[in-house]
Amino acid sequence: MAGFVFPKPLLVAATVVLVIVPGYLGDGSGAPPGSTADYCGLNEAADQANFPGYVDFVLEDVVKNTQEQYADATTGETTYSSTSPVGGGRGAATGKATCYSGVTGNSCGKCLSEAVQYVSPCAHYTTGSAYYDQRCFLHYWQL
């Protein structure tokens, strides 16, 4: 067909896809006061491969709102930073519950719950003289 010109292809220089996971808090909220967090997204398989010896601890009756926790690398106690209590007698907002056993140093155990999904981002931060590493920082949210 004389004079017909095919349209030039549309070139897309860059496409950015933003995936939002409902309930996920990736801004460091809930970390100890004055701390900063650097997230790099670990997963359970990587934790199992790289951090052997952790002990799963199942929380009971997890509250409906977001639960953020961080574990003391020395004592193994998990502090609940949420303002809501945790059921099953496991502790309250400012209470503590043992998260793991038989693990020493900064190799914190993984806390799990039947009622929530979780992600254990790579969180390196300091608060005072205490040090918490990537194995100690857990995020929880309601399914």
What are the tens digits of pLDDT across the range 40-84? 223 344 444 443 333 332 232 222 223 344 444 344 444 433 333
Structural domain contains residue 34:
no
Structural domain contains residue 121:
yes
Q: Which amino acid is at 85?
A: P
Q: Answer yes or no: is pLDDT of 5 > 50.
A: yes
Structural domain contains residue 28:
no
Phi and psi at residue 44, to the nearest 5°: -60, -40
This prediction has a pTM of 0.15
Mean pLDDT for the chain overall: 34
- Greatest mean pLDDT among 10-19, 89-98, 103-112: 10-19
Q: Number of structural domains, the chain?
A: 1
Q: Which amino acid is at 24?
A: Y
Residue 120: CB partners within 8 Å, gap ≥ 6? 42, 43, 44, 47, 110, 134, 135, 137, 138, 139
Task: Report the C-alpha dihedral over residues 130, 134, 139, 143, rounded to 10 degrees.
Answer: -160
CA–CA dist 50, 140 (Å, integer): 21
Q: Answer yes or no: is pLDDT of 101 > 50.
A: no
Token pair of 133 as six digits: 């590493």
What is the dihedral sign for C-alpha 127, 129, 130, 131? Answer: positive
Q: How far is CA 78 from CA 10, 12, 59, in A?
A: 54, 48, 11
Structural domain contains residue 17:
no
Q: Answer yes or no: is pLDDT of 3 > 50.
A: yes
Structural domain contains residue 65:
yes
Domain that includes residue 109, residue range:
44-142
